[in-house]
Amino acid sequence: MTQLIDRESIASIKKIGEIRNKDLLGEMLHIFNAQFNQCLGELNNSIQVADSDNIKYLAHKMKGSCKSIGAEALANKCLEMENLDLADELSYKKNMEALYTQVEKTYESTKEELEIASGAVLAE
Amino acid sequence: MYDFKVANTVATACIGDRLPRFASSHDDIDTAYTLTLDDDPIVCKLIEEFLGVKNFSFSSAQDLLRSSELFRPTGIFIDVHLAKNECGLDVIPQVRKCWPDAPIIVITSDDSNDHIGQALAAGANDFILKPFGASELIARLSSRREELKDRNSQWIVSYGDLELDLQKKILSSPLGQVYISSKEADIFAYLVRQSGIVVEKGIIKRHVWGSVKVSDNALERKIFEVRKTVRTLSSKVEIKTVYGKGLVLRLNSFACDQELLEDKEVLLGVSSLWEGRGDTTY
């Protein structure tokens, strides 16, 4: 089973932060949080109109951000979204909505884990 | 304002013993920076922090290409997936044209061989998969920089204060640069290799044109052009005709010899060595 966060990626960012005497992980998580929330909003709108092109684009972008920050499980959920093909609009929308809920849930648990890892509280 | 010196010091410190250095001794610490074409601010920030030098980020290929006159980056990172309907791979040939000396490293979160193969075929020097760590990023950029430097140095021929880029066909000196034709470049390069030696015109013809028959007039016209360009760019180097024998490329006076020698001594730090030896008595 995929782990929620990749400790190695987190440790790598933390280490550079320590050497540079700054809370680099905290900064990165702040950017990640802002970016991810914005994408979630756009994704929700795109699902409502079944805009599969934009969904694929957003899911890919979110996946990349997740991988960079070490949010492994969330990256996999985004990949599922990216790979979901538009067979017929109704089932696509239904499946995508279900995936969206999973992404939201995974994001919440990932956020908690990342907060613990960084020792910082992410801004809402 | 971004502090390059602090950033680079930190980069060197963070690289430490376990990680290779990004900035080589040839890099000017104050001017080392990278460019990134990626619409993900996280990747751009990570690159800047990992390398410890300023990273200018662009989210559209058009903006990056528009800035080609402004930047001389030490490396360029390009994401495969840019904004909707824009692919980073499509822009690689144009980026390569704008910055032939800078390594292009493609970033991707897909480990698909298709993307990697296409990126390399389009002119990228390397690729990096997300997530990437500081040591991998630094190592890839450093080695690709060294490779390009080695490759490009094979195309440079220099004599006196003149330098010829055989690839770009540019003859340059501190006074400026002039584009010359392919044959003129070949003639100059050959004369540099034979500098100080009188070379027969027939030998130049054979070397530059091979078995193709070329009239003396055509050769004279090319030599005239090369000589004119050399005169425009340097007062220290000349192509002298030795009547009845051929041509010789040389420094045009003893004073210039001395001047060039002194320049080289300063560059090599020879002067300081000699100063140190002043106290020694034999």
pLDDT in tens, B191-226: 998 888 899 999 999 888 888 888 999 999 999 999
Q: Is residue B148 part of a domain?
A: yes
Pairs across A and B, CB distance < 8 A: 71
Choose the mutation target among A19, A53, A66 for the interface with B, i.e. most B CBs under 10 Å.
A19
**Which residues in chain B have Cβ-Cβ distances shorter than 8 Å to A31?**
41-42, 45
A29 pLDDT above the threshold of 60: yes
> Which of B111, B136, B153 lies at the terminal end of a domain, its last residue?
B153
Residue pLDDT, tens place only, B229-260: 999 999 999 999 988 888 999 987 655 555 55
Chain A residue with minimum CA distance to B43: A68
Given pLDDT bands bounded at 50, 70 and 90, which one contains residue A60?
very high
**How confident is the prediction for chain A on average, in pLDDT?**
88
Measured CA to CA, the distance from residue A11 to residue A19 in angstroms comes to 12
The pairing of beta strand B33-37 with beta strand B246-251: unpaired
Q: Are residues B149 and B161 in the same domain?
A: no
> Contact B43/A64, CB-based, under 8 Å?
yes
Residues in chain A closer than 8 A to B10 (CB atoms): 19-20
Residues of A within 8 A of B134 (CB-CB) are 12, 15-16
Number of independent structural domains in chain B = 2
Same domain, B86 and B116: yes
Between CA B188 and CA B149 the distance in angstroms is 22
Answer yes or no: do B84 and A13 touch at CB < 8 A: no
B contacts of A27 (beta carbons < 8 Å): 45
- Cβ separation of B43 and A68 shorter than 8 Å? yes
pLDDT digits (tens, 9 = 90+) for A82-100: 998 877 777 888 899 999 9
> Rounded distance, CA B144 to CA B147, Å?
5
Give pLDDT, residue B263. 54
Give the residue from chain B lying closest to A24, CA to CA: B49
Spell out which residues of chain B touch residue A63, defining contact as CB-CB under 8 Å. Answer: 109
* B144 in the same domain as B162: no
CA dist A82 → A78, A104, B220 (Å): 6, 15, 66
Identify whether B276 is part of a domain. Answer: no
CATH number at residue B203: 1.10.10.10
Does one domain contain both B93 and B172?
A: no
* Separation between Cα atoms, residue B213 and residue B105, nearest integer Å: 46
Q: Based on the domain organization, do B120 and B211 belong to the same domain?
A: no
Best of A16, A39, A78 to mutate (most B CBs within 10 Å, chain B) = A16
Report the pLDDT averaged over residues B84-105. 88
Decide if the complex's ipTM is over 0.90: no
Of B128, B153, B178, the last residue of a domain is: B153
C-alpha distances in Å from residue A29, one per residue of A14, A111, B204: 11, 9, 65
Structural domain containing residue B198:
156-270
Q: Is B162 helix (H, G, I), strand (E, B) or coil?
A: strand
Evaluate whether residue B17 is within a structural domain: yes
Give the domain CATH number at B80: 3.40.50.2300
Q: In Å, how far is B147's CA from the nearest CA of chain A?
A: 27
Q: Which domains does chain A have, with CATH numbers?
A: 7-118 (1.20.120)
Q: How far is A108 from chain B (nearest CA, A)?
A: 19
**Domain-embedded: residue B218:** yes
The answer to whether position B275 is within a domain reads no
Burial of A70 (0-12, 13-18, 19+ CB in 10 A): buried
With a cut of 70, say whether residue B270 has pLDDT above it: no
